[in-house]
Amino acid sequence: EDPALLEAFEARVAADEFIEPKDWMPEAYRRTLTRQISQHAHSEIVGMLPEGNWITRAPSLRRKAILLAKVQDEAGHGLYLYCAAETLGTSREEMIEALHSGKAKYSTIFNYPTLTWADIGAIGWLVDGAAIMNQVPLQRTSYGPYARAMVRVCKEESFHQRQGYEISMQLARGTAEQKRMMQDAFNRWWWPSLMMFGPPDDNSPNTAQSMRWRIKRETNDELRQKFVDITVPQAEFIGLTVPDPDLKWNEEKGGYDFGTIDWEEFYSVVKGEGPVARERITARRDAWEKNAWVREAAQAHEAKKQARKAA
Ligand code: FAQ
């Protein structure tokens, strides 16, 4: 790589300019962005499954309409993100093939089952809450198409987080049985939500370079700490107990100290050994195969249109 080009690239990044698809960029920058954006896209797509599981069983028409809209939003996010990743030169087919073959990663969080309606509250509140915490800084990521996609995605995630917190609040303030169900969902989703931010900084192979290239604007541990500091008071406000005996306010740092994350569990889920990992990938592959006729019909329609135009 030409050192002058590299120097100019780094100066632009340091000046907080956006890098655009046709601009020169180091191959490693292209690679790591393609990796991060495609994993992010896969997460949105696989992320439809745990909640999709509850659309037909939502407790009221209002809840059903909201959940349907939310899951549709996730599909939209996935499609934006695939488009952003494609501008870096990898085709959507290649990315989808990597997901279906088990080669590509997607967020660990979507490998946990949704056992009760309260899980839908917990996902909106905690999972979308963690997603926003991570994505707000990405609106200033150095790659233009990714940064711009994040603007709309964050607006929608903010609605998702509120609807989840509202479900959680209603259940936590409902009957004893509803409160118990909400606490149980909170217990099961709390730690996996903290794992969404990725490994600790001193064990995160990509963080240092991604921070230098301003792909990431805050580190995994910084974002995780912010999430804990914002979410603990929200839990207290609705009368839920954070399932962490070591959680304690630390006056000096102005944040909470919290217990140790089970990193063994994290790495086993990253490796594809999550509780419902197999079901998730099977569901995606099935959807792809069973709906092949839709893609074929769309292509046939387009071919006819082109033929008519040529005639
Ligand atoms: N799960 O060196 P680092 C959503 C991998 S939100 C699986 O720290 P990096 C919205 C990592 O890829 C969820 N793998 O990596 C929604 C790397 O492996 P690689 C998606 C993980 O990239 C809500 C290795 O470990 N959000 O979908 C995880 O600097 C509700 C070493 O890690 C995003 O993707 C994990 N949790 O930092 C949808 C946000 N953590 O690739 C539906 C954008 C780490 O070298 C319902 N991504 N790994 O083989 C990011 O900000 C970053 O990629 C991190 C990881 C922070 C996730």
At 218-268, the pLDDT tens digits run 999 999 999 999 999 999 999 999 999 999 999 999 999 999 999 999 999
What is the residue with the minimal CA distance to atom 48 of ligand 1?
198
Q: Which residues contact 5 (CB under 8 A, 6 or more apart)?
A: 24
pLDDT at 311 over 90: no
Other C-beta atoms lying within 10 Å of the C-beta of residue 116? 16
What is the residue with the minimal CA distance to atom 31 of ligand 1?
204
Q: What is the pTM of this model?
A: 0.96
> Percent of the chain, pLDDT > 70?
100
Read off φ and ψ for residue 257, nearest 5 degrees: -90, 140
What is the pLDDT of the chain when averaged over all its residues? Answer: 97
**CA–CA separation, 122 vs 171, rounded Å?**
11
Q: At what angle do helices 92-100 and 277-290 cross, to 10 degrees?
A: 130
**CA–CA separation, 129 vs 235, rounded Å?**
13
Give distance in angstroms: CA of 195 to centre of ligand 1.
9
Average pLDDT over residues 110-130: 98
Q: What integer pLDDT is reported at residue 161 of this predicted model?
A: 98
At 49-94, the pLDDT tens digits run 999 999 999 999 999 999 999 999 999 999 999 999 999 999 999 9
Regarding the beta carbon of 92 and ligand 1, being less than 6 Å apart is answered: no
Regarding the beta carbon of 127 and ligand 1, being less than 6 Å apart is answered: yes
Q: Which tokens belong to 148?
A: 């711009």
Average pLDDT over residues 124-140: 98
Regarding the beta carbon of 283 and ligand 1, being less than 6 Å apart is answered: no
Regarding the beta carbon of 210 and ligand 1, being less than 6 Å apart is answered: yes
Average pLDDT over residues 120-130: 98
pLDDT at 307 over 90: yes
Regarding the beta carbon of 219 and ligand 1, being less than 6 Å apart is answered: no
Regarding the beta carbon of 78 and ligand 1, being less than 6 Å apart is answered: no
DSSP-derived 3-state class of residue 248:
strand
150 within 8 A of 135, measured Cβ to Cβ: yes
**CA–CA separation, 16 vs 23, rounded Å?**
15
Q: Which ligand 1 atom sits nearest the alpha carbon of residue 107?
A: 1
Give distance in angstroms: CA of 106 to centre of ligand 1.
7
Enter the DSSP assignment of 199: S
What is the residue with the minimal CA distance to atom 20 of ligand 1?
40
Selection from 135, 114, 130, 126 nearest residue 41 by Cα = 135
Q: Report ipTM for this prediction.
A: 0.98
What's the Cα-to-Cα distance from 237 to each of 35, 160, 240, rounded to whole Å?
38, 19, 8
3-state helix, strand, coil in the chain (%, to 5): 70, 5, 25
Sort 148 into a burial class: Cβ within 10 Å, 0-12 / 13-18 / 19+.
Answer: middle
- Point out which residues pair with 250 in neighbouring strands: 255
Regarding the beta carbon of 270 and ligand 1, being less than 6 Å apart is answered: yes
Q: Which ligand 1 atom sits nearest the alpha carbon of residue 47?
A: 42
Sort 22 into a burial class: Cβ within 10 Å, 0-12 / 13-18 / 19+.
Answer: exposed
pLDDT at 1 over 90: no
What is the residue with the minimal CA distance to atom 40 of ligand 1?
198
